[in-house]
Amino acid sequence: MEKFIILKGGLTNQYLLPCPGGYLMVEAGDEKDFARFKGKLKKAGVDPREIRYLFLTHHHGDHAGFAARLREISQCRVIAHRDAAEPLKKGRNARVKGGGLTSRRAMLLAGIMIKLNLGLSLRFPPLELGENDILVQGDDNKLLRDLGVPGKVLHTPGHSPDSISLLLDDGSCFCGDAAMSSLQWLGLRYCCIYMSDVEENYRSWQKLITAGARTFYPAHGRPFKPEALKRNLNRFRQEDLVIPGRRRV
């Protein structure tokens, strides 16, 4: 496929994949980054109305935060996992029993970012999905091809139950928060700072690698290779998670 566009800067990366009539964009971003996002889009020479689809890797506020506003100006169709519909409608990060932070340092940082409103909002403008939007049930090898994008959708839970990834036939993998390369100084070992189910998350890594992922393009951080995940596989266990309110920092 024609090379895609990466919009960096801000907490969350956006990726614009060419499709017939415009772009399929992977991820929106935090609500307060909307003006900055529009600036990046303009700089890239893309009109918001060219965004035909918005692929949300999951419902969290730093991904879906400005999705409602973007849909208003672009009329894009949203693609998300069916389990994202409810929390998107509420405009609120869903709590998952047993989920927690990858380390105490991660918990401290997340706490500070939420308190100071540094782009990690747990609440965001609600997004109600309708007939025009597309909910995926799980793995889907047909949907993207029908839209003219050569790739597939894979259900990759572990960061959140509704996490999905987009894998292009050339091995480019847009994995959302299933894995990330930023904040490695926190000792994250390519995991996100929050996980709902650690073992499930590692199974998702293996699933993506087995499916042919050759370069990972995460929502947070720079691209990386599968070797990074292979090196760090199964480094955490569910018991290692720090659950806010349950253990002292």
**CB 58, min distance to Zn ion, A:** 6
Helix (H, G, I), strand (E, B) or coil at 151: strand
Minimum CB separation from Zn ion for residue 169, in Å? 26
- Which residue, 11 or 167, is less far from Zn ion as judged by CB? 11
In the block, residue with structure tokens 């253990």: 247
| CB closer to Zn ion, 19 vs 154 | 154
Residues 104-123 that bind Zn ion (CB under 5 A): none
Contact status, residue 181 vs residue 190, Cβ threshold 8 Å: yes
| Identity of the residue, 147 or 166, whose beta carbon is nearer to Zn ion in the bound complex | 166
Compute the half-sphere exposure of residue 235: CA atoms within 13 Å on the CB side of its CA: 15
Least CB distance from residue 77 to Zn ion, whole Å?
Answer: 22
Residue nearest to Zn ion (CB): 60
- Burial of residue 130 (CB within 10 Å: 0-12, 13-18, 19+) is exposed
Q: CA-to-CA distance for 131 and 106, rounded, in angstroms? A: 38
Within 154-213, which residues bind Zn ion (CB under 5 A)? Answer: 177
Q: Which among 163, 242, 218, 198 has a CA at the least distance from the CA of 232?
A: 198
**Span 53-72, contacts to Zn ion by CB under 5 A:** 60
User: Which residue, 63 or 207, is less far from Zn ion as judged by CB?
Assistant: 63
Residues in the chain: 249
**Residues near Zn ion (CB under 5 A):** 60, 177
